[in-house]
Amino acid sequence: MPTHPETKHSPHIVVADDEPDTVKTLAEIFRHAGFKVTEASKGPEVIAVARTERPDALVLDIDMPGVSGYTVAREIRQMFDPTPPLLICISGKWVGQTDKMLADLAGFNHFLQKPCDPLVLLKLLEPLAPRGSVER
């Protein structure tokens, strides 16, 4: 996959997970595809970043310290109503049918179970991607 350096017009993604390896790995994949990425590990950090930087998409874990991904998604939806950013849930612990329903109610656009295929994530982000950056 060719490297696409971030430009000042690069779509902005926030990646939030309490597992540092997950954040670092996803952030690197997204940067390689040409996105600007902000990394976070706690719900309150995500809300603060979203408020000041208005990201194009957020990839959130559900089980984060401080504030859950569900709560973050609801706040982001309210903050940017009627045009919120794309919200993608990734979870390794909360993966049952009820968890998926709660994700829908919180306003997530997509629900993925960990470990998730990075190509699936990139496909979901493709409409935001810098031109020609996502390999098919």
> With 90 as the cut, is the pLDDT of residue 122 above it?
yes
130 or 48: whose pLDDT is higher? 48
Tens-place pLDDT, residues 45-92: 999 999 999 999 999 999 888 899 999 999 999 999 999 999 999 987
135 or 64: whose pLDDT is higher? 64
CA 48/CA 86 separation, integer angstroms: 17
Residue 96 burial (C-beta neighbours within 10 Å; 0-12, 13-18, 19+): exposed
Q: Nearest Cα to 62, choosing from 85, 21, 95?
A: 95
CA 84/CA 66 separation, integer angstroms: 22
> With 60 as the cut, is the pLDDT of residue 96 above it?
yes
Q: What is the mean pLDDT of the chain?
A: 87
pLDDT band at 136 (very low <50, low <70, confident <90, very high): very low
Q: What fold does the segment set 12-126 form as a domain? A: Rossmann fold (3.40.50)
Calculate the alpha carbon distances from 67 to 10, 64, 102, 116 in Å: 28, 6, 15, 22
Helix (H, G, I), strand (E, B) or coil at 99: helix
pTM of the shown model: 0.86
DSSP 8-state assignment for residue 79? H
